[in-house]
Amino acid sequence: MPSIGVVGGGIGGLTAALACLHAGLDDITVYEQVTEPEALGAGIQLSPNATRVLIALGLRGALAQAVFQPEGVHLRTWRTGYLVASRPLGAISEARYGAPYWHVHRGDLHALLLDAARARGIRIETGCRCVSAGEDERGPYVELESGTARHDVIVGADGIRSMVRSTVFQSGAPRFTGHVAWRGMVPAAKLPAGFVLPAATVWLGPGRHFVHYYVRGGELINFVGVVETDRWTEESWSRPGDPAALARDFAGWNPVVTRLIEAADEVFEWALYDHEPLPSWSRGGITLLGDACHPMLPYLAQGAAMAIEDAWVLSRMLERWEDLPAEGLAEYERYRRPRTARVQRESRRQGQEFHLPEGWPALRRNFVLALGSRLLPEIAMGQYDWLHGYDCVRGFD
C-alpha cells in the first residue's frame, strides 16, 4: 500500500486525503503551510458533479447544516435588472443529476473537511511550508522548511503558486489575466426581506459582471464583482480592498448591486491569474491536483469542483494501481486532462460572453439566452449536462 504525501491542506488537498482513505489507502499525511487555517470570507458554488463526491465521502449530513440550496440561476442586465434568462436549480436540478446544487461559505467547507480528516485519523502537519519537491533514487520527496519528507506518492495540491509545480515541472510564474475580482459578505439581516432572491444571480455588463448568492443557510450573502482592467494587483484571497474603488467600478449599476456594495463592512480585491497548460502534470511518483495543474477563471464556478473531482479520480487510480503508483498517476492525468481543459476553455468563453459591450453584441447574446430559457428550456438545461451530470463516483465504483 503506497504512502501518500499531500502538499496543501486546502479544499482539494483535504478532499484528496479523504478520498484516498475511502479507497482503502490509509497511509496519508497532509502538509499545510499555515499553522491555523483561516475561515476566508468567500462563497463557493458546489454543482452536482462536486457534491456527489462529497456525499460519497459521507459528508452530506454535516454539509446540510452549512449550505444553501438555491432555487435557480438568474442572468440580468447590469442597469435595468431585466431578467434575460433563468435556469432552475433546487429540486429540479437534483432530480435531473442525482445530487444537489449547493452554495457554501469557503471557510465552512474547509473546516468541515479538516474536521472530517482529523476525525478519521488522517495526519495533518501544519506549519509545514514546501520549498521544493522531486524524485531521486530513493523515490519521491518533498522538501519542507523543517526537513525532508518521503512518500511513495507526492500530490501537489498547493494552489496556483504551487512549489511542487514550479520545482518539478519547471513552470513559470502565473500570468495576470487582465481581470480583477472584488468579493464581500453581507449579513442578510442588513437588507429588507426578499431584497435578494434565493438564486445565484449574475448581472451582465460591459467589461464586468457581478454575482451574488446566499451561503450559510441564508444567513449571509456572498458577492463577487469582476472587472476587466490593466490595474495590476497581487493574487491573494485576503488583500483588503477600498470600498470606494469598488463602488466606482459599479457606479450606475442596478440598485440591488449598489445596495449590496454599500452594505458590506469590508471588501477584498484580488487579481485573477492563470498558467499556460503544462505538457504533463504527473512525473514518476509525483502529480498535481486542482489549481496547481489547471487553474481556471471563475465564470463557470468550477474551480473547487474540479479539485474535488480530481481528488476522487486520483484516489481510485491509486487504488487500482496500488502496487504501481506511478502508473496510477499517469492514468489519473490521462483521464482528467481532457475534462479540465474543456472546463478551462468554457470558463474563458463564458467570461467573454458576460462582458460583451453594449449594442449588438450584448443584444444578440441576450436574445439567444432568452430564446433558450423561455422557448427551449429543456435544450437550455441540457447545455450543462456535460458539466453538472458528470459522475466520477459511479464511473469508478
Q: Compute the CA torsion angle 91, 94, 97, 98 (nearest 10 deg).
A: -130
Question: Among 178, 256, 272, 183, which residue's Cα sits nearest to residue 224?
Answer: 183
The grid coordinates listed for 29 are 499525511
Could you give the CA distance from residue 372 to residue 86 in angstroms, rounded to a whole number?
A: 9
The full DSSP string for 299-310 is GGS-HHHHHHHH
Could you give the CA distance from residue 205 to residue 357 in angstroms, rounded to a whole number?
A: 7
Question: Among 6, 3, 274, which residue's Cα sits nearest to residue 157?
Answer: 6
Residue 119 burial (CB count, 10 A) = 8
Could you give the CA distance from residue 19 to residue 265 in angstroms, rounded to a whole number?
A: 37
Could you give the CA distance from residue 381 to residue 373 in angstroms, rounded to a whole number?
A: 8
Which is the catalytic residue, given 141, 213, 214, 299?
213
**b/e sequence 66-103, b meaning 16+ C-beta within 10 Å:** bbbbbbbbbbbbbeebeebbbbbbeeebbebbebbbbb
Could you give the CA distance from residue 261 to residue 241 in angstroms, rounded to a whole number?
A: 12
The grid coordinates listed for 45 are 458554488
Give the SS3 label for residue 66. Answer: coil
Q: Is 97 noted as a catalytic residue in this protein?
A: no
DSSP 240: B
Strand order in the sheet with 130-136: 130-136, 139-144, 147-150
Catalytic positions are 213
